[in-house]
Amino acid sequence: MWDYICSIPDRLGWGNGLRLLKGWVRASKDVPQDPSDLTCLTKNSDVKPGRVVVAGNWKVDDPVKVALKAAAPPPPRREKVKPYWKYLHEETRHNDKSLGEIDARVALLEKTLEEQRRVALLEKTLEEQRRVALLEKTLEEQRTLAEPPKEDLSQFFVPITAEDEMEVQDCLYGNGSSSKVLVLHEPSNIEVSREKIRCLRPHGWLNDEVINLYLELLKERGMREPKRFLKCHFFNTFFYKKKYKIVTEGVVKSEYIAKKQ
């Protein structure tokens, strides 16, 4: 078989074609180095004469193509492409992270806004309190200016001494003549005896002379210090009775005349 293969170049007139073929075969890394093993290259039952070297059911393609293919660099490795679903999944996780950051920022902004509202409310409350305090102070000042100064009345309520207390007790409960004059009021010419003073005892009836003396003292005080005390006017109760009697008689007479007519 090998003799037949070797005689092919002589028959076709190729000359040094066999040596060229052997060189190409030896340069290839993917084919055997020994020309006797060329039958192991390719198996094909459809062989075209004149274009291939045939050994039974095995063939060798065009030597030029084989040599070029052997000398050519290996094809680049195909990089593994990430599945699209995985890309979408990672993108979703990235978006979820962004959404988490947005939620954190929103929570921080809400907390800041709540703090600002609380501070504003506190400032408003303090401002209202200051305003109320200022208003109360102003009203107090105006009230102080409007009110007259308080008069010292301690001089009118001087406590009596022990001697004065003994004298009062003697006038009310002491022994002696009941007709003895104890007090004489010269402006009104009113005399107050021991008998009339005793009406000031508890559960006693007031005497007219004592009442008139008290009223005269009030009248004198109003005349003595008119700026401090009110002016008092008094009249006798008998005058009131007489006036009441005249008015009553006039009314009764008018009614009688009206009925008679």
Taking the C-alpha atoms of residue 41 and residue 53, their distance in angstroms, rounded to an integer, is 11
Over residues 192-227, the pLDDT tens digits come to: 888 888 888 888 888 888 888 888 888 888 888 888
CATH of 162-260, one of 1.10.10.10, 3.40.395.10, 3.90.1310.10, 3.40.1010.10: 3.40.395.10
Q: What pLDDT is recorded for position 61?
A: 58
Tens digits of residue pLDDT in 220-242: 888 888 888 888 877 666 666 66
Q: How confident is the model at residue 57 (pLDDT cuts 50, 70, 90)?
A: very low
**pLDDT band (50, 70, 90) for residue 189:** confident
Residue reference for tokens 């009104």: 188
Query: What is the distance, to the nearest Å, from the Cα of residue 39 to the centroid of all Cα atoms in its chain?
Result: 96
What are the structural domain ranges in the chain?
Answer: 2-71, 92-143, 162-260
Q: How confident is the model at residue 75 (pLDDT cuts 50, 70, 90)?
A: confident
pLDDT for position 55 = 45
Stronger pLDDT, 77 or 36, i.e. the higher one: 77
Return the pLDDT at 54: 44
Between 69 and 48, residue with greater pLDDT: 69
Residue 6 has pLDDT above 60, yes or no: no
Distance CA 248, CA 51 (A): 172
pTM of the model: 0.33
Q: Are 88 and 48 in contact (CB under 8 A)?
A: no
For the chain, what is the mean pLDDT? 72
What's the whole-number mean pLDDT along residues 157-162? Answer: 82
pLDDT the model gives residue 159: 82
**Is residue 253 pLDDT above 70, yes or no?**
no
The confidence band for 62, taking pLDDT boundaries of 50, 70 and 90, is low
Give the whole-number percent of the chain exceeding pLDDT 70: 60
The answer to whether the CB of 214 falls within 8 A of the CB of 232 is no
Look at the block and give the residue holding tokens 């003994």.
Answer: 166
- Is the predicted pLDDT of residue 177 greater than 60, yes or no? yes
For the ranges 2-11, 96-105, 208-217, 239-248, which has the lowest average pLDDT?
Answer: 2-11
More confident residue, 236 or 117: 117
Rounded mean pLDDT, 164-191: 85
Residue of 173, 174, 175, 178 lying closest to 192 (CA atoms): 178
Mean pLDDT value of segment 119-124: 90
